[in-house]
Amino acid sequence: MSNIVEPLVLQIAARVRTERERRRWTLAQLAEVSGVSQAMISRIERGESSPTAVVLGKLSAAFQLSISSLLALAEGTTDAASPTAGVRRGADAEGWRDPETGYRRRQISGPHFPAEIAEIRLPPGARVPYPAAAFVFVRQVVWVINGQLTFHEGDTVHELGEGDTIELGGPTSRVFANTTDEECRYAVVLARGTQP
């Protein structure tokens, strides 16, 4: 595990615990709501295990937060002391890496921007599924910057190439897959709404 990721693993651990305790849930209650085992949640909260993208999606859905929001909260970028505008250097940006697939996610927008923007790098052969609950009350656009993305929206499959975009509809299970031999880089633009 790289030095860049380790602090974020501990920050995610603290954020998951804080979100669970804020709701006054036991580990067993969060396990029931999220579908993630109690043992795994315990290891995540102790910083002993970095959650995979799938587990992060399930926990985010249970908390009714987007993955971007959960990671932004973990990174501490929602502090009131954070600047509301300005330059954010790419070299200073902390990213999160899925230990299972190598999927990398970096938050682009700041906490006070009205939309959440994330850059994703999906390695060759990676496949990342998310439950429908992760998309409730969220509107998203996916924009492929480089490479090919095979995007499953429920039973519908979309093959997206460089420059292609897709605006996501109501909540349904989704899979982001890279079936090629080259990395796929895409951006996700998310806005919260009052209805899916």
Residue 82 lies in a domain: no
Query: In this structure, what CATH number is given to the domain that contains residue 43?
Result: 1.10.260.40
Same domain, residue pair 58 and 120 = no
Residue 37 vs residue 74, higher pLDDT: 37
Q: Under 8 Å CB-to-CB from 132, ≥6 apart: which residues?
A: 171, 172, 173, 174
Q: Which residue has the higher pLDDT, 96 or 137?
A: 96
The answer to whether residues 144 and 63 belong to one domain is: no
Whether 102 is in a domain gets the answer yes
What single DSSP character describes residue 74? H
pLDDT greater at residue 57 or residue 125: 125
- Quick: pLDDT tens for 70-119: 776 665 544 434 445 677 777 766 678 888 899 998 888 876 778 889 99
Residue 188 has pLDDT above 90, yes or no: yes
- Please list the alpha-helical segments (H only) found in 35-151: 38-45, 53-63, 67-75
Confidence (pTM): 0.74
In this structure, is residue 80 part of a structural domain? no
pLDDT at 7 over 80: no
Structural domain boundaries enclosing 145? 97-192
Q: Is residue 126 pLDDT above 60, yes or no? A: yes
- Percent over 90 (pLDDT), the chain: 44
For the chain, how many structural domains are there in total? 2
